[in-house]
Amino acid sequence: MELIIYLAGEIHSNWRQTIKEQANSLPFHLNFVGPMENHERSDNIGEEILGNQPNTIFKDDAASAMNNLRTQVLMQKSDVVIALFGEKYKQWNTAMDASTAITLNKPLILVRPEKLHHALKELSRKANVTVETTEQALQVISYIFEEE
Amino acid sequence: MELIIYLAGEIHSNWRQTIKEQANSLPFHLNFVGPMENHERSDNIGEEILGNQPNTIFKDDAASAMNNLRTQVLMQKSDVVIALFGEKYKQWNTAMDASTAITLNKPLILVRPEKLHHALKELSRKANVTVETTEQALQVISYIFEEE
Amino acid sequence: MELIIYLAGEIHSNWRQTIKEQANSLPFHLNFVGPMENHERSDNIGEEILGNQPNTIFKDDAASAMNNLRTQVLMQKSDVVIALFGEKYKQWNTAMDASTAITLNKPLILVRPEKLHHALKELSRKANVTVETTEQALQVISYIFEEE
Amino acid sequence: MELIIYLAGEIHSNWRQTIKEQANSLPFHLNFVGPMENHERSDNIGEEILGNQPNTIFKDDAASAMNNLRTQVLMQKSDVVIALFGEKYKQWNTAMDASTAITLNKPLILVRPEKLHHALKELSRKANVTVETTEQALQVISYIFEEE
Amino acid sequence: MELIIYLAGEIHSNWRQTIKEQANSLPFHLNFVGPMENHERSDNIGEEILGNQPNTIFKDDAASAMNNLRTQVLMQKSDVVIALFGEKYKQWNTAMDASTAITLNKPLILVRPEKLHHALKELSRKANVTVETTEQALQVISYIFEEE
Amino acid sequence: MELIIYLAGEIHSNWRQTIKEQANSLPFHLNFVGPMENHERSDNIGEEILGNQPNTIFKDDAASAMNNLRTQVLMQKSDVVIALFGEKYKQWNTAMDASTAITLNKPLILVRPEKLHHALKELSRKANVTVETTEQALQVISYIFEEE
Amino acid sequence: MELIIYLAGEIHSNWRQTIKEQANSLPFHLNFVGPMENHERSDNIGEEILGNQPNTIFKDDAASAMNNLRTQVLMQKSDVVIALFGEKYKQWNTAMDASTAITLNKPLILVRPEKLHHALKELSRKANVTVETTEQALQVISYIFEEE
Amino acid sequence: MELIIYLAGEIHSNWRQTIKEQANSLPFHLNFVGPMENHERSDNIGEEILGNQPNTIFKDDAASAMNNLRTQVLMQKSDVVIALFGEKYKQWNTAMDASTAITLNKPLILVRPEKLHHALKELSRKANVTVETTEQALQVISYIFEEE
């Protein structure tokens, strides 16, 4: 039994690379998917495909259409969603993707520093599990496979 | 035909009072529902009902359970969701509620100042309509009822 | 038991007015809802609420957001959908609304002149009933209420 | 991870052959499915299986039953739907299939020449992405797989 | 709290009239709905609305479109379905309506003479309750309202 | 806006009577529904309607069919489910009804003495809110209606 | 792409063997599943597993529980359902399985002799396709795979 | 065709080991999944991953979050659920998991000693099949694969 894990969260740090490396030492294989991590390309993908847009609002609108399609395809194929909040940025996409996962009945693991607990308390209460580090998130995934 | 409108968004300003007053001049009746607007009570409702909790994390957890139940009951009864983002605060609950509305196939009107467009571009693209003011949001609702 | 009937179809002719008058002679009350019938306003509603858009593509995009929200709210409240195709115009919205109704398990009555049968054969096969006139559509609705 | 792509749209031109050839140069494999492209056979399939029908209306009805079953099976197995509108023909089936895809939560890429934007504005607004060429549609699919 | 009861089953005997009279003595009101009970009209309704059809197969096809639309509208509005099988006739519609009710999560009461148990054993096992008389079916409905 | 509250739980004590009296002092009206509270009748309802059964297994099977139908009808009409566990009895029906409520997306308030927490920990974690008394459960319901 | 085909219908004749042989000559592989075809074993399976039951009613009830579980598992795994009605027997299970397939959005091919059309007219109208022979049913399946 | 079987029930005895050994003699392969069977670890998993909790209530809450995520992932991947009740313990998790399976339309086989029938009568009536031993449960699974 293989699991597909969607990694929702900011694309400014390299936390996805970190969790993939941490997962290498597990005795089973995980397939990680997620958004485009090249931030500049994520912002420009609309104009890259559709050409110049009239202003930045419409440039954003075009890019987000591509990003949403990518997320919809990959999240529908995933078995578990891990959503990570860092201390910087608004990260509304992370909240949006986490909430979509819950409503679609996809199990959700929330990763956030303890100091963000108050701002994330309603989302945390809806998540299956809330942890503080990606190592802990992988421990939760491991527990699905362990027999004793 | 009466509509129930859920007002998602920050509870620091009095924007809900404003939109209710603006709606008074419409030729039809709207029923507005939403979260507890008394911020302090919203934070304390867990301990108010369950008694003191071991620390602030668990106080938050208890409060958010009550807040989530309230939102679930009221959003399930609503016909349209209006989600307003202001320039301050993280507002992850607003993003969470807006995303829940979309996934539940509840029509969503997003209200945000233009300067927030970039941070909200993916959510905006999923919303039915994005506007900048509550007057505009009410114009959209009015349009449902108008015949010419 | 009252029924709400959504009238999907072109907004160039006054067929909705006709069917409402025909329904006046029925021994029960029907509530008719549908899209904005003022064609010019339907095209301009985006700019009416959001202000001038950069070009006609974006003007159309803004208008259609408003029109789609209206349709979503009203179709979700309806018990039966009547979709009328005339001989002119592309009428892709009518096909789109009819298909949405079928997928949402809303009973669909298709009204079209016999000469359009070939072009509409797949949609006709999915509809509950296909007729040629609005009088016939009302006869189908009447049959729901009749006891002998 | 392999994706299945349903190609909705007219069967008069050879655009499906074109997009399949364009996809050959991609660094991943796509499985394309779609309707019967032999137009005459698509029209005759009812009588081919059920024998002569009383008139052309019933011949059409029989054929569309077969075509609808094929589309239902193949669309349910697909991960993304691409719907192409050309400048000729009514193409109500394309609108119907595109709308079914949206309601079933299948990601939809709409391909249409810019001049059709007005007639397709409501459908375009519901689609995940609207582009003008099949190359652009494939760029959107590619973006799902790209990592930087 | 009022309940709507859909009465599925044969239209050759007057069992619906009987159960309505039996229900008159209950201390609460039930709203009964069901198919067209005038058998001849049920068979002719297609031609009554659409005009003469080429042969009896197509006459039947037209009639069943009307009958199915009526059932779909009324069953979606009902809270409980009572399906009665008598000793005569094939009654495939009764089996079809009962099975639709189960799949739609509508509570189902099956009424059949004991001697039909073997032929109906799989359906009986899926029904909420199986009884032998309409009086018993009404007792089951009454039990929903009783407090002691 | 009125709410319907389903009261799941043991039928040996009179806790439902207590909560109804407590609710009388609230400034809004709640509609309480639930299972048959007359325990003996609940056990005998199968034979009361269907006559003597071959043994107690089949007597139980007949009774539970009636009880399940009642619960299905009433829970589908409810907005919130309150499930109470006492210290005695196995109360598997309470666990079953609570779990059904969660899966159907009905908000669930769990009432249990603190000493039962360990045995109910997984269910408690899935419930919206867990409290220890019926007064607290009513406080949670009240919070839905309160504005400050 | 492989398809799984559920064969619903009577278990008195060997029509499943026939259709499997006919399918051998197709240029693609079909996986056929269906109910237990050994009629005596199908009737006795309840007592085979659970031991003697008090009477034939309860023997039937036990057997149908096993038969329903088998059908539920296999139908959920299937892509298309073929339901065959012969001229003998009540065949209520066939009607039940066909109706379940439609409600679950499984494409349905109905096979019946023309003389049964009247009794099956409502079910036929809901099916995707109605044919008279198993060869024709396989032609419909073939059409899904054919490209010209 | 391979099936995945979720084994719900107590983790105090080694019944899962027994059923796996019994399944070794079957002529087809079954994939068994289920909860963590190491009882102590199941109780401690919350603190193992999240660190010490303020008291036993919160320790339980943390552990159950992990256990629920594991169950949700594994049950969503399963084709059949077997739920076993023994004579000891409250086993509310078993009732909860069984009820979740039913509501998710997963076929359910209930295993319980006959003396528990009364307490489990409503759940038994909702299950697809109720048996007394794991051998019987495997016979039911076998019956899905048998052809004569």
Q: What is the pLDDT of residue H1?
A: 79
Token look-up 């209306």 returns: D57
Burial (CB < 10 A; 0-12, 13-18, 19+), residue C8, is buried
* Mean pLDDT of the C42-53 span: 96
Size of interface A-C (CB pairs under 8 A): 6
Q: What is the pLDDT of residue C85?
A: 96
pLDDT digits (tens, 9 = 90+) for C18-33: 999 999 999 999 999 9
Q: What is the pLDDT of residue H28?
A: 95
Assign C43 a pLDDT band (cuts: 50, 70, 90).
very high
Q: What is the pLDDT of residue E48?
A: 96
Q: What is the pLDDT of residue C1?
A: 79
Helices (H), chain E: 15-23, 39-50, 56-76, 92-103, 121-126, 134-145
**Under-70 pLDDT residues of chain G:** none
User: How far is G126 from G108, CA to CA, in rounded Å?
Assistant: 9
Assign A88 a pLDDT band (cuts: 50, 70, 90).
confident
Q: What is the pLDDT of residue D89?
A: 78
* 8 Å CB contact of F72 and E1: no
Q: Is the pLDDT of residue A11 over 90?
A: no
Assign H18 a pLDDT band (cuts: 50, 70, 90).
very high
Q: What mean pLDDT value characterizes chain H? A: 95
In terms of phi and psi (left: phi > 0; alpha: psi -120 to 50; beta: otherwise), the region of C7 is beta
Q: What is the pLDDT of residue F125?
A: 96
* Mean pLDDT of the D117-128 span: 96
* Mean pLDDT of the C103-108 span: 96
Strands (E) across chain D are located at 3-9, 30-33, 80-84, 108-111, 129-131
* Strand arrangement of the beta sheet that strand F3-9 belongs to: F30-33, F3-9, F80-84, F108-111, F129-131
Assign A99 a pLDDT band (cuts: 50, 70, 90).
very high
User: How far is G123 from G8, CA to CA, in rounded Å?
Assistant: 14
Q: What are the Cα distances from residue D23, in Å, to A142, D28, D130, D142? A: 38, 9, 19, 10
Q: Is the pLDDT of residue H12 over 90?
A: no
Q: What is the pLDDT of residue D88?
A: 84
* Mean pLDDT of the H119-131 span: 96
Assign A12 a pLDDT band (cuts: 50, 70, 90).
confident
Q: Which residues of C lie closer than 8 Å to B, measured between beta carbons?
A: 4, 31, 33, 36-38, 41, 45, 48-50, 65-66, 68-70, 72-74, 76-77
Q: What is the pLDDT of residue G87?
A: 87
Global pTM reads 0.95
* 8 Å CB contact of F36 and E146: yes
Pick one of 3.40.50.300, 3.40.50.450, 3.40.190.10, 3.40.50.2300 as the CATH number of C3-39+79-145. 3.40.50.450
**Which one of F90, F99, F124 has the shortest CB-CB distance to H100?**
F99
Strands (E) across chain G are located at 3-9, 30-33, 80-84, 108-111, 129-131
User: How far is H148 from H139, CA to CA, in rounded Å?
Assistant: 14
Q: Which residues of F lie closer than 8 Å to E, measured between beta carbons?
A: 31, 33, 36-38, 41, 45, 48-50, 65-66, 68-70, 72-74, 76-77
Q: Is the pLDDT of residue C89 over 90?
A: no
**Which one of C64, C90, C99 has the shortest CB-CB distance to D96?**
C99
Q: Which residues of G lie closer than 8 Å to E, measured between beta carbons?
A: 56-57, 60-61, 63-65, 67-68, 71, 90-93, 95-100, 102-104, 114, 117-126
CA dihedral (H5, H6, H8, H11) in degrees, to 10, reads 100
* 8 Å CB contact of F117 and H57: yes
User: Which chains touch D (3+ CB pairs under 8 A)?
Assistant: A, C, E, G
DSSP state, D81?
E
User: How far is C46 from C57, CA to CA, in rounded Å?
Assistant: 11
pLDDT digits (tens, 9 = 90+) for A29-51: 999 999 999 999 999 999 999 99
Assign H148 a pLDDT band (cuts: 50, 70, 90).
confident
End-to-end CA distance of chain C: 18
- Rounded average pLDDT per 10-residue block, chain F, 148 residues: 93 92 95 95 96 94 96 97 91 96 96 94 96 97 93
List, as one string, the DSSP characters of chain B.
--EEEEEEE-SSS-HHHHHHHHHTTSSS-EEEE-S---HHHHHHHHHHHH---SSHHHHHHHHHHHHHHHHHHHHHT-SEEEEE--SSS--HHHHHHHHHHHHTT--EEEE--GGGTTTTHHHHHHSSEEESSHHHHHHHHHHHH---
pLDDT digits (tens, 9 = 90+) for B2-17: 899 999 998 888 999 9
Distance from CA of A119 to the nearest CA of D (A): 31
From E103, E125, H128, select the one nearest G99 (Cα to Cα).
E103
pLDDT digits (tens, 9 = 90+) for B80-109: 999 999 988 789 999 999 999 999 999 999
Distance from CA of D107 to the nearest CA of A (A): 6
Q: Is the pLDDT of residue E119 over 80?
A: yes
* Mean pLDDT of the D125-144 span: 97
* Mean pLDDT of the H129-141 span: 97
Q: What mean pLDDT value characterizes chain B? A: 95
Assign E1 a pLDDT band (cuts: 50, 70, 90).
confident
Q: At what angle do helices E134-145 and E15-23 cross, to 10 degrees?
A: 40
Q: Which residues partner with G109 through β-bridges? A: G82, G129
pLDDT digits (tens, 9 = 90+) for A48-58: 999 999 999 99
* Mean pLDDT of the C99-105 span: 96
Token look-up 């007597």 returns: F59
Q: Is the pLDDT of residue E83 over 90?
A: yes
